[in-house]
A and B are shown apart, each in its own frame.
Chain A
Amino acid sequence: MANLIKVGMADYKVGRSPSTLISYGLGSCIGVSLYDPQTKIGGLLHIMLPDSTQARASDNPAKFADTGIPLMLNDVLALGASKSRLVAKLAGGAQMFAFANATDIMRVGSRNAEAVKQILKRNGIKILAEDTGGNYGRTVQIDLNNGVYKVKTIDRGEKEI
């Protein structure tokens, strides 16, 4: 039985095959995975917000896209992954409730997705796939044996990206 490692909200975990990293119930949050197919080393990060510089105070860099991604990147590299082989996948970033006059905070899902993509690009990491947006929650997992990233939903079934 492969090892299932839970990743909480505003948290990240790194590991190697045969582990699977899983994060439950993402709404506007985003699950970002990094994976090196050769060494089968990877990580999963569950961010809540795009930008730590707009936040008043936080002791938790894993909460933000701009501080969380570099943190996870360092850890997968330290485990022995190669930066040039790393690929990223992301899912989440929904807007759970539709309001006519949606404030910025309501649209945080799409801002999260934008920020994640920008930061990955800035770090020179290729984005292989994404499943973002919509108005529904997602549970995401990455199998470090093969890099398959699964997205589970309640009404829209399950898919691999």
Chain B
Amino acid sequence: MIDEYNLSPMQLDALKEIGNIGAGNSATALSQIINKKIDMNVPKVAFVPIEDVPDLVGGPDVIVVGIFLRVYGKAPSNILFLMPEKSAFYLVDTLMGRPQGTTKTLDFMDQSALMEIGNILSGAYLNAFFNFTHISMLPSIPALAMDMAGAILNVVLVQLGQMGDQAMVIETEFLTEDEGLSGHFFLVPDPGSLGTLIKAVGVE
């Protein structure tokens, strides 16, 4: 039995590596779509007190666009891709071939395009995950919201809140070379899923 709240340094490293491969795959996909070089940081894998999670993206009242996917399978999880509204506008302008600065609000088509990006990024992430863990993980269709970061993060946090006071987050930050687009990719395994993932990479 793996104690999810008390992982060894090696187990944390293994999770970091899974996150790294997943996020690397996503960043490559995104880079190809928008034809820009993308930097990403080494994933943060950590237990964070639930109430501190909004601070990871700049505070609970920062306006962000969030794309949310539920992940089904043997290790159910949530995926949340958060970006500042400016980045979302930048991404939409790039995708739609409009001059930068055109988009000021997100219409139905813009939202749809962003959700598709969420789809592609999650697919790339989970594919890499599968190659590594051989646990198949199927994403739901994406949902999108533009609102306060705290409110959007609520969605993943309430579930964890039912189990404990800490959230295990695997978080990667993206940034394009021109700094027009930045974002945070969160994989938040359900309680119980972490153990499954760790077992799958053989560092029990």
Contact = CB atoms under 8 A, between A and B. Distances in A.
Main DSSP-derived SS at the A contact region: loop
B155 interface: yes
A24 B59 CA distance: 9
Nearest to A98: B143
A138 B68 CA distance: 19
Main DSSP-derived SS at the B contact region: mixed
- Interface size range of chain A in the complex: 20 to 34
B162 A56 contact: yes
Given A24-B61, A99-B143, A137 B151 contact: yes
A43 B184 CA distance: 34
Contacts of A60: 165
- Interface size range of chain B in the complex: 20 to 34
Interface string B55-70: 0000111010010101
Nearest to B78: A105
B145 A99 contact: no
B154 A28 contact: yes
A142 interface: no
B21 interface: no
Interface string A128-161: 0000000111110000000000000010000000
A48 B49 CA distance: 14
Interface in A34-72: 48-49, 54-60, 63
A42 B66 CA distance: 34
Interface of B: 50-51, 54, 59-61, 63, 66, 68, 70, 140, 143-155, 157-159, 161-165, 191
Q: Top 4 closest A-B pairs, CB basis?
A: A25-B150, A137-B151, A25-B60, A27-B154
Interface of A: 8-11, 24-29, 48-49, 54-60, 63, 94, 96-99, 105-106, 108, 135-139, 154
